[in-house]
Structures are given as C-alpha cells and as structure tokens.
C-alpha cells in the first residue's frame, strides 16, 4: 500500500504520530462557531467522523470536493478528535466495494414497506451577529426552524446560528450546505434549495 505521509524526522525530534487511513464519503465541511472551515465530516457506514484539517488542505473542500464523494483520509487521533495529514480521492473500484459492504451491513427494509432513499443530513447556517442580527437574521432563523420542525419532508435539514460571514453589507446572510451564500433571502427561498426532489 502506498504511504500517504512519510515526513523526515530530524535528529533529536520525536517521530510524527502514528496515523491510519479512514475511508468513506465526504459529508460536508466542519466549521467553527464563526463560520470558518476547520475540517471535514466523513461518513463511514453508520459512523461519522469530525476531522480537523491543516490550513493548507482546507481550501480543497470548496474547490475540489462535493458532498457524497468517496475519499480516504490519513489521520491520527489526538485527545478527543481526529486530525488529518492528507486527503485523497478513493479509487472507484474501492468506492464500489465500500458501497457494497455498507449495503450488506445495513438493516433490510420491511417487505411491505416501499424502499425510500435515505436523505443526507444538510445544515443551513444563519449569521445571527452584528448587522445581520439588526436586519432580521434572528427572525429568519426562527422561521426556518419552525418550517423544518413542522415539515416531515425536511427532517434531514438542521438550522444553525453562526458568527459573521464577512458580508455584512448584504445581510442578513445564510450559507447553504454546498457553501453558497444567500443574501437577504426569504425562508421559503432557502428551504427550496434543500427540499428533496420528487
């Protein structure tokens, strides 16, 4: 197997932490309370890993990865979190094998029930700070949350209050799961972007 990370160890320095390869689907970016990208969410079967990325790897989440793509992450556990060393796309043959393994271990649906595709968890972020707050972002957040709570078709959607998105002049601002930002949107417009298509 090709080693993803082989750093040189200078004399007198400790060796780098022992890592392992985590394989799964990229489920989205992991952000700080201020909305800054800090890492990624990796879906591996029924488990989900929150993995912090070094700064030089973070831009690739927006430029190169889309939710649902299979990746392999060379990472190591530190305290109560995972830290990545490298992220690479998973070869299609391995991705297909992984899909089959997950399907084999997933519970079978009841014979009388019509199979329904599992909705991917999506998060809409709403800036509730500063100027956005004064321009009505708190009301948008509440309206979105009420709409999600009252509609079973939106059970896969969560609403999260976040910090400044650096676009105060155009607020109130929200960020969609794909990273796109909407300025002064109505709750209906925002939810239309994440509703399942028939």
* 60-115: pLDDT as tens digits: 877 888 888 899 999 888 877 888 888 888 888 888 888 888 777 766 555 554 55
Assess if residue 57 is contained within a domain: yes
Same domain, 25 and 99: yes
Averages of pLDDT over runs of 10 residues in the chain (198 residues) are 39 57 87 85 85 88 82 85 88 86 68 55 84 84 84 83 82 82 82 69
186 and 137 assigned to the same domain: yes
Split into its structural domains, the chain has a count of 2
Question: Which residues constitute the domain of residue 80?
Answer: 20-103
What is the rounded (10 degree) CA torsion for 182, 188, 192, 195? 120
Buried b / exposed e along 115-141 (16+ C-beta atoms within 10 A): eeeeeebbbbbbbbbebbbebebeebb
The answer to whether 95 touches 87, Cβ cutoff 8 Å, is no
Both 126 and 182 in a single domain?
A: yes
Tell me the C-alpha to C-alpha distance, in Å, between residue 65 and each of 58, 79, 88.
Answer: 11, 27, 10
The answer on 25 and 87 residing in a single domain is yes
In whole angstroms, what is the distance from residue 81 CA to residue 170 CA?
35
When the pLDDT of each residue in the chain is averaged and rounded to a whole number, the result is: 78
Q: Is residue 93 part of a domain?
A: yes
């Amino acid at each position: 197997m090709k080693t993803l990370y082989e750093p040189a160890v200078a004399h007198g320095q400790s060796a780098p932490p022992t890592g392992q390869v985590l394989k799964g689907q990229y489920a989205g970016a992991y952000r700080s309370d201020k909305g800054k990208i800090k890492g990624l969410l990796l879906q591996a079967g029924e488990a989900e890993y929150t993995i912090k990325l070094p700064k030089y790897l973070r831009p690739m989440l927006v430029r190169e990865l889309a939710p649902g793509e299979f990746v392999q992450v060379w990472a190591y556990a530190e305290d109560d979190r995972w830290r990545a060393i490298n992220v690479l796309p998973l070869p299609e043959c391995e991705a297909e094998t992984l899909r089959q393994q997950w399907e084999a271990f997933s519970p079978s649906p009841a014979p009388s029930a019509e199979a329904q595709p599992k909705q991917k968890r999506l998060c809409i972020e709403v800036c509730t700070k500063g100027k956005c707050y004064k321009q009505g972002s708190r009301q948008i957040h509440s309206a979105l949350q009420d709409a999600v709570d009252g509609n079973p078709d939106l059970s896969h959607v969560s609403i999260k209050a976040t910090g400044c998105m650096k676009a105060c002049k155009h607020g109130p601002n929200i960020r969609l799961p794909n990273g796109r930002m909407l300025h002064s949107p109505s709750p209906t417009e925002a939810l239309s972007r994440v509703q399942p298509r028939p």
